[in-house]
Every structure is written in structure tokens, then in C-alpha cells.
A and B are shown apart, each in its own frame.
Chain A
Amino acid sequence: MPPPNTPVDGTTTPRSTQPSQPAQSSQSSQSASRPASSIIMDASQVKTAVVKMDYQAIDYVNPVDETLICPICRTAFHSPITTPCGHTFCAKCINRALERQRVCPIDRQPVDKTRDYRPIPLIIKEQLDRLEARCPNQGCDYVCARENLEAHYERHCEFTPVRCPKPGCDKLVARHLCSIEGQCMHETTNCDFCLKPVTFVDLDAHWEQECEAAFATCPDCGASVSVVNNSMLKHIQQDCPEATAKCTWEGAGCRVTDKRRLVREHERNGCMYETVGRLLEQQAEDRKIIQDLTRRLASLEAVRDTRRRGRRRDSAATINDRSAAAVAADGTLANPAASSAPLADGTTWESPHNYMLAQFERLESQMEELREMVCEMDMRQSASFLHHSQQVADRFLELGDKVGVLSMHTKWLLNMQYMQRNAQLRAANAASLTAGAAGAGNVGLSGSSDGGHHGGESSSGAGSSSSESGPRYQLGGRRGSEGRIETLTRL
């Protein structure tokens, strides 16, 4: 995963003064990991696929987790949906199953395809997208993340069946066989060697496997060699151990000429001219690099000159103010190199078409990266949200506990107060009984138990009257109950 600042890099058009920019852009177009040949493909060859890619035919590099496998087709889900009962199937598979019976194939709960399908969780989709998948075309061994495979299949794969190049022929043919415009690959031709009728499509296979006339015996070594596409000539010139050959270092001055296997032995034992030969090779390579650099320099200078000229003309024509013109000229001086960066990054584009194609690919891969990043951010965000809300819930629980403990304490304290008050009252009553009249004392006793009860549960507000005598206790009691409400609201 690239650091978060990459998209900024990526979204800037190749207009930047940093020298690292060309290197970066060439790297990112490589990171799309597509064969270079597909980028510089001729426009006429980019035929679109006729048949949709078959997801069930995809082979995965690693075993796919059982949870990602559709129970109906037994392959990794393709555009899956979830039923109300929580089971997931490929949309196509469940549709077929529901045509026969309108119940979930797993638990037989009724399912109505028009309104019961739910999307699958994003995380499953992502897992599916990331599966390393092999191109389903036979003969192709391209591997990439599954989400990119369809693009490979549709636009790049050499083995994707496309329409026959001959107008009117509705048969299909692998893309790499469409080399001749207008040539029907399904017409029969006669094999050049055995003269048997063979369709163009099968010609290669015929030569490789069936055609006996396509093989001949090498006059030198006696091996049976294919004669297709000058391969006999190639054999004699490059491989045949008995054919006459020259030493690899002939250019450096070696005069050895013998049967190839003897010459090879001579080379293995160390040809005297090898060191010289290697030096010459190195020199040639250096020269090539120098030529390339000179050519590039020339083109860059040309671009710069035209820019400068254009700018000067502009500034002379439109701006009279001298200092403003100077600023403008200054600002553009640094730019020509940058604006030609895509030209200078090692690839010379043969046509604007190819250039656009490459740019398109690069943008596509950047989009992909962005998408991945958004997904990741989404995941991270929801994870942190969960985390936070969990914390809040924990705090709530803790607070609830504390409140419980506090109310317990309050109860206990109040209780204690009540007990104390009772003890005091009893003492006071005993005193008044011994001191005052018996009748008044009786009233005081009943009143005190009542008022004391209220007061005991409440504040000490009633306490001041507690030591006073009989009839006033009624009042004290009432005051006590008011005080209790007050304390509750204060809590």
C-alpha cells in the first residue's frame, strides 16, 4: 500500500519540475504488470471480447477459503447476493435455483428474488477482489488480482476469442490468430507440406503434431527437424551440432571454423579472443547509449527552442510591461523539460495513440489504487468508530456502577442518621416522661415516632426540633419530609 501522498503525485499531470517524475511515471505504468507488447498493440488488433469471461472457469493460485465459495457452483462467488436468511450465493446460481423452487437451497426459507436479495458486506467483496486468479483462457498463464482479470481478458489477453477478422464470418478465433486483416481463419487451406486440407486455426497444431511432411532429416546431424517457418535453416545456422560454424569471437579476430560442437568446446575451453570480443561488445553498447542520449538531447533542445520562441513571441505581442515579461519568461524556462517528460522517460511513443493508451493504463492503475485506499480508509474509520463507541459504552457502565455505589452509600448514611436520631429522641422522651405530665407525654411519644421516621430518612433539617417537646413534633415531621425531597433533587 503506497503512503497517502501518492495520489497527489499520481493525479498531477506530467507537468512537474522534479527530475524524479519521469522515473516515477514509468514505474507506475510498469506496476500495472502488463506485458509491454499489449500497450503498444496496433489499434486494429485491440478487438473486444465477444464472450464474457467465465468466472467459474477461473483457477486460483491459492486454495480459496470455504467461506468464499458458492454452495451451488462450488467456485468463488461471482457478484454474490445474500438472502434474508443470511445465506450467500452467486446471483446467477441462486436465480437458477429459485426458478425451480422459491426457497433458500440451504434452509428452505422462502426467498423472493425480486425483493429479498441483499448486497454482501464490503469486506467479502474485497476479499473476492483480491484473490489471485489465473486467466481462464487456455494457453494463457497470466495471474493478477481477480478484480483486474476481466480487463485483461476483455482487452489484452492474446487468447481471448474474438470475432473472425473476415466480415460476415461469425465464428470466433483467438485474438493472436487475427493477424491478417480480412483473412477468415476458418477457411480451409492446403498444408504446404503434406497438401492435406487444414483450417487456418488448426495449422500450427497440425504442423507441430500431425504433419509428417513438415519434418525433414537434417543433412548434417540426421535429426528430424520441422521445416515450418524456416526452422530448418535456423537449425543449421544456430543449433545443429554437426553443421559448420564459426567461433563466437570471430569479430575479435578468431579464425576457428569447425563443426559446431567442436567450436562450442573451443569456446568453453577459453578462446584467446574472448577478452577482446567482450571489450568490443561493451564498446558497441556504450556507443548505442551515447547515440540514444544524443538523440534525446536533440529532441529536448528542439522542444525547448520552440517553446522559448513561442513564449517570446507571446510576451512581446501581449505584454508591454518589461518586468512582467521577464517574470513570464522566467517561469516558463523551467517547464519545457517537464512538459516533455513523458517523452523523455525512456520510451519513445511511436504514435499519440500508443501514448494515450499508456496514459490510460496508468490512470486506470491509479484509480485502482485510489479505490483500494478509500476502501481501506472506510474500514479503518468504521473500526475506530467501533472502538470509540465501545469505550463510551464502557464509561457508561462504569458510571452506572459508581452511581449504584453512591446511592448505596447515601442509603447507608441516611439510615445511620435515622438510627442516631431515634436514639436521641428516645433519650429526650425518657427525660420528658420523668419531668412532665403523663398525658402530654403520651401525645409526645406517638408524635415523635411519626416525625422521627420522616426526619430519619431525610436531612438533618428536622434535627433542631427533635429535642423539643410533644405537640411540636407534628410540625417537625412535616418539615422533615420536605427536606427529604430537597435532598433527593440535590442527589
Chain B
Amino acid sequence: MSAPFAAKRLGKELQKISNSLPPGIELVSADNFEEWLVDIRVLDDNPLYRNEIYRLRFRFSSTYPIEPPEVVFVKLPDRPIPIHPHIYSNGIICLDLLGHQGWSPVQNVESVCMSLQSMLTGNTKNERPPGDEEFVRGNRLRPRDIEFYYHDNDV
């Protein structure tokens, strides 16, 4: 194989994304096939997320899309970490779609963004996951090495 599978697939995705993206999703940078930055915002009037834009960082392994990408929210002066019972305050997301079990190779950057968008839209709880503080203090693992227990898959 002349170019890695992941690069070819991401090239295709980039081609499509740079033509059109759903509302509320914006590609910030995609200079290589290892790391992309995407801004998302919630479209409805959910008071928890109103007027805020959130920055997502995608990291792709060479086995993408067979393996899921690593997706986290990153904190910047104008980009907070959204409050949500499945999002730790360090930006790590606990979403079964992004885990090894829930991921499917037919997913892509766009569909992940849309899932996160709707995950925020549907949320009414102004809270972090249980044990957030300890987790953020104690965790040294990469997100993909954490085995989350997806207790509540309907969010």
C-alpha cells in the first residue's frame, strides 16, 4: 500500500468537509493526517451552552477508521470545556461511540461532531461526571486507554 489507509480516508473526508459542513461545526485546522481541530457550538437555545463555542481535538492513529480517533475538548481562553455529566473538566469525553466497543469504521469526523453536538443539546444537568475532581487530578492515561463504564447510554 503506497499511502497509509488512514491518510487516504482522511483525505477523502477533508475533501468533503472543506466543501460543506453542517451548521455549528467548523474546521479550524487540518494540516496533517494526525491531528485536526474543530469548533462546535450548540444550535438550540440550551441555557447551559448558549453563546459558547467549544474546541475539539481529533487525533488519528494509522489504523483510523478501523480504530476510533481520540477526541477531547481543549481549553483555551475563549473556548471553555462544556459542562456535561459525561465530560470531565479536563476535556476527556466519556461517550460509548468513541470507545473501542461502540466505535464503527463507518463513523467519521463529521458524524462524531454531530453526535457530540446532539449530546450537548439534549443535556439539562449542570454537572460534571461523578468523581470528576479525583479523575482529573489522578489521571495520567491517554483517553483511549481509559476503560469507561458506559452507565447511561441514552445521553
Instruction: Say whether A and B bind each other.
Output: yes
Determine how close the nearest CB of chain A comes to the CB of B61; give it in whole angstroms: 12
Chain B window 97-132, contacts with chain A (Cβ cutoff 8 Å), 1 for yes, 0 for no: 000010011101000000000000000000000000
Closest B-chain residue to A72, C-beta based?
B105
**How far apart sit A56 and B8, CA to CA, in the bound complex (Å)?**
7
Is B65 engaged at the interface, CB distance under 8 Å to the other chain? yes
Q: By the criterion CB–CB under 8 Å, are B8 and A57 in contact?
A: yes
Q: By the criterion CB–CB under 8 Å, are A105 and B104 in contact?
A: yes
Is A51 engaged at the interface, CB distance under 8 Å to the other chain? yes
**How far apart sit A74 and B105, CA to CA, in the bound complex (Å)?**
10
Residues of chain A within 8 A of B5, CB atoms compared: 56, 73, 96
Is B12 engaged at the interface, CB distance under 8 Å to the other chain? yes
Q: By the criterion CB–CB under 8 Å, are A51 and B66 in contact?
A: no
Determine how close the nearest CB of chain A comes to the CB of B82; give it in whole angstroms: 28
Residues of chain B within 8 A of A101, CB atoms compared: 101
Residues of chain A within 8 A of B8, CB atoms compared: 56-57, 73, 75
Q: By the criterion CB–CB under 8 Å, are A72 and B106 in contact?
A: yes
Closest A-chain residue to B16, C-beta based?
A74
Q: By the criterion CB–CB under 8 Å, are A72 and B65 in contact?
A: yes
Residues of chain A within 8 A of B1, CB atoms compared: 54
Q: Known interface pairs A54-B1, A105-B105, A108-B104. Does A100 touch B66 (Cβ–Cβ under 8 Å)?
A: yes
Closest A-chain residue to B2, C-beta based?
A54
Q: By the criterion CB–CB under 8 Å, are B106 and A73 in contact?
A: no
> Which of B2, B101, B105 is in CB contact (< 8 Å) with A51?
B2
Is B70 engaged at the interface, CB distance under 8 Å to the other chain? no
**How far apart sit A341 and B118, CA to CA, in the bound complex (Å)?**
73
Is A393 engaged at the interface, CB distance under 8 Å to the other chain? no
> Which of A57, A71, A75, A96 is in CB contact (< 8 Å) with B66?
A96
State which residues 21-64 of A face B: CB under 8 Å.
51, 54, 56-57
> Which of B3, B12, B13, B67 is in CB contact (< 8 Å) with A100?
B67
Residues of chain B within 8 A of A56, CB atoms compared: 5, 8
Q: Known interface pairs A72-B65, A73-B9, A100-B67. Does A57 touch B105 (Cβ–Cβ under 8 Å)?
A: no
**How far apart sit A114 and B149, CA to CA, in the bound complex (Å)?**
33
Q: By the criterion CB–CB under 8 Å, are A97 and B105 in contact?
A: yes
Closest B-chain residue to A75, C-beta based?
B12
Q: Which has the most chain A C-beta neighbours within 10 Å: B13, B67, B106?
A: B106
**How far apart sit A56 and B106, CA to CA, in the bound complex (Å)?**
16
State which residues 7-38 of B face A: CB under 8 Å.
8-9, 12-13, 16
Is A93 engaged at the interface, CB distance under 8 Å to the other chain? yes
Closest B-chain residue to A93, C-beta based?
B105
Is A435 engaged at the interface, CB distance under 8 Å to the other chain? no
Residues of chain B within 8 A of A431, CB atoms compared: none
**How far apart sit A96 and B1, CA to CA, in the bound complex (Å)?**
14
> Which of B12, B66, B67, B104 is in CB contact (< 8 Å) with A74?
B12
**How far apart sit A73 and B106, CA to CA, in the bound complex (Å)?**
8
**How far apart sit A97 and B66, CA to CA, in the bound complex (Å)?**
6
Determine how close the nearest CB of chain B comes to the CB of A272; give it in whole angstroms: 60
Residues of chain A within 8 A of B65, CB atoms compared: 72
**How far apart sit A96 and B2, CA to CA, in the bound complex (Å)?**
17
Determine how close the nearest CB of chain A comes to the CB of B89; give it in whole angstroms: 31
Q: Known interface pairs A54-B2, A57-B2. Does A106 touch B104 (Cβ–Cβ under 8 Å)?
A: yes
**How far apart sit A77 and B108, CA to CA, in the bound complex (Å)?**
18
Closest B-chain residue to A96, C-beta based?
B66
**How far apart sit A56 and B65, CA to CA, in the bound complex (Å)?**
14
Q: By the criterion CB–CB under 8 Å, are A106 and B12 in contact?
A: no
Residues of chain A within 8 A of B16, CB atoms compared: 74
Determine how close the nearest CB of chain A comes to the CB of B87; give it in whole angstroms: 25
Residues of chain B within 8 A of A93, CB atoms compared: 105
Determine how close the nearest CB of chain A comes to the CB of B38; give it in whole angstroms: 18
Residues of chain B within 8 A of A75, CB atoms compared: 8, 12
Residues of chain B within 8 A of A51, CB atoms compared: 2
Chain A window 424-458, contacts with chain B (Cβ cutoff 8 Å), 1 for yes, 0 for no: 00000000000000000000000000000000000
Determine how close the nearest CB of chain B comes to the CB of A282; give it in whole angstroms: 52
Residues of chain A within 8 A of B12, CB atoms compared: 73-75
Closest B-chain residue to A92, C-beta based?
B5
Determine how close the nearest CB of chain A comes to the CB of B100; give it in whole angstroms: 8
Residues of chain A within 8 A of B66, CB atoms compared: 72, 96-97, 99-100
Determine how close the nearest CB of chain A comes to the CB of B118; give it in whole angstroms: 19
State which residues 114-154 of B face A: CB under 8 Å.
none
Determine how close the nearest CB of chain A comes to the CB of B145; give it in whole angstroms: 16
Closest A-chain residue to B65, C-beta based?
A72
Residues of chain B within 8 A of A72, CB atoms compared: 9, 65-66, 105-106
> Which of B3, B67, B106 is in CB contact (< 8 Å) with A71?
B106
State which residues 310-339 of A face B: CB under 8 Å.
none
> Which of B3, B13, B67, B101 is in CB contact (< 8 Å) with A57?
B3
Q: Known interface pairs A100-B66, A100-B67, A108-B104. Does A74 touch B9 (Cβ–Cβ under 8 Å)?
A: yes
**How far apart sit A93 and B67, CA to CA, in the bound complex (Å)?**
12
A-B contact pairs, 7 of them (CB 8 A): A56-B5, A57-B8, A72-B9, A73-B8, A74-B12, A75-B12, A96-B105
Of all A-B residue pairs in the complex, the 8 with the closest CB atoms, nearest first, are A74-B12, A71-B106, A105-B104, A72-B105, A105-B106, A97-B105, A105-B105, A56-B8
> Given known contacts A56-B5, A56-B8, what 5 new A-B pairs fall within 8 Å (CB)?
A72-B105, A74-B12, A74-B16, A75-B12, A93-B105
Which residues of B does A touch, CB under 8 Å? 1-3, 5, 8-9, 12-13, 16, 65-67, 101, 104-106, 108
